[in-house]
Structure 1
């Protein structure tokens, strides 16, 4: 069995299909998706449908991202947050134009069933963005932090590499888990095109919403798999590069 983690997809169905084919996913594999399945490229609804069908054949864990929260609100209430529409939501609404009411209800149930975080048997934490409690995710006081926080990643990036886990200067927030896997903050922001590691935190968002690739990693071996740049797969679109 392989333990695979997949970064932010943002409506790029072609990149997702390409990546899954490259992974040669088998029934014994476990796939953890870090959220932000929608918003950006033109096939957000199709991404959700694909993931629903994929979960019928292989073990999948779906973490909820901030864009997924916005889409869930729209599917449930029919109200489109203006901030959401300006950050890829418009394309998501358009992608649902040919989906039936029943199909939208099925997708809403899919969003509602997503996890805010996931802990595996090796004490690896998977969360879309981060958390702020020094006591760990079970003691997080603000749910929004799971899909909006960037301080966890910023803290990991600024740590002195000479500080080890046994040091009293090592941030207590990081001591609860063997490793932490996040998305949310594109590695393109740091001119990096593959997943990044800082302390025991791994960032798997390699900018598929923009000019980057969709990435997956085998968390046991750290082998990286990537799609083509998503801009190549959608040459007539801009994604979130507006």
Structure 2
């Protein structure tokens, strides 16, 4: 059976990612769509990227760019230190790359450069890290980085009147563009949830791996969900982004 599986934010939690993929029991026939934020959090940020590079040699993988990936890539290219990045997990990535050779870093930079800002599959499902603001879709965003930073799609969903149906004039036009939308970026643990959350036709698959939550995955057709253990339990001597 060929499955398409969306995987939420990882934040350097390689041990949890490996555990998750074992629980999914992935095969070479599975298509894996990663929703971004591979780094910044736990100590395995750089090792996570190495693992994903190797995984893509065995499976069809699509790597969506997350805001943390963009920040780490910028640091690897320029050496510039973004203070906000350092306060939100960046130091863990700096530490993780400390013993990497220039050749290894070049390989990682190639990986970062090949990430995509969003992906639309043949069934018109959208996969994007954060969301989009333009009513004509992510390709029309004035600022390309909006798709991995902006939280308003999720905030709009949380305030959406559940009585509105798709035919109502006030139904959000953004939601009519795609069959389903899969996002990460904003942990559902902030609203007291532990598993991926579905509102309207959007699934938020970020279950707080950077903090006290798990890494989650969802099969996009059957909606079967898999999860790792809480990531912090696999890194008992670390604080993550807490």
Normalising by structure 1, report the TM-score. Answer: 0.98
Offset at 1:166?
1.8
Q: What residue number does 1:137 align with?
A: 138
- Tell me the residue number matched to 1:55: 56
Query: What is the rounded CA distance, in whole Å, between the counterparts of 2:109 and 2:199 in structure 1?
Result: 35
Shift of 1:122: 1.1
Task: Give secondary structure in 2 for the equivalent of 1:197.
Answer: strand
- 1:23-38 matched pairs, under 5 angstroms: 23-38=24-39
Aligned to 1:83, the other structure's residue is in SS state helix
Deviation at 1:145, TM superposition (A): 1.1
**Distance in 2, Cα, partners of 1:211 & 1:109:** 31
Residue 85 of structure 2 corresponds to: 84
The alpha-carbon deviation at position 158 of structure 1 amounts to: 1.1
Question: What value does the CA root-mean-square deviation take over the aligned residues?
Answer: 0.8
| Residue 171 (structure 2) pairs with residue 173 (structure 1) | no
Q: Which runs of 4+ in 1 moved over 3 A?
A: none
Looking at structure 1, the residues matched to 61 and 81 of structure 2 have their Cα atoms a distance apart, in angstroms, of 28
User: What is the DSSP-based 3-state SS (H/G/I as helix, E as strand, rest coil) of the residue aligned with 2:68?
Assistant: helix
Tell me, yes or no, if structure 1 residue 108 matches structure 2 residue 109. Answer: yes
Structure 1: stretches of 5+ with no match in the other structure:
none
Which residue does 2:228 correspond to in 1? 227
CA distance in 2, matches of 1:234, 1:46: 14
Aligned equivalent of 1:210: 211
Quote how far apart the aligned CAs of 1:162 are: 1.8
Matched, 1:17 2:18: yes
Residues 75 and 105, structure 1, Cα contact 8 Å, conserved in 2: no
1:80 is displaced (CA, Å) by 2.0
Which residue of the partner structure matches residue 189 of structure 1?
190
The Cα offsets for residues 150-205 of structure 1, whole Å up to 9 and x where unpaired, read as: 10011112111221112222111111000111000001100100001111111000
Structure 2 residue ranges without an equivalent (≥5): none
* Corresponding position of 1:73: 74
Query: 192-201 or 47-56, which moves further after superposition?
Result: 192-201
- Alpha-carbon distance in structure 2 between the residues aligned to 1:140 and 1:175: 17
CA distance in 2, matches of 1:50, 1:64: 16
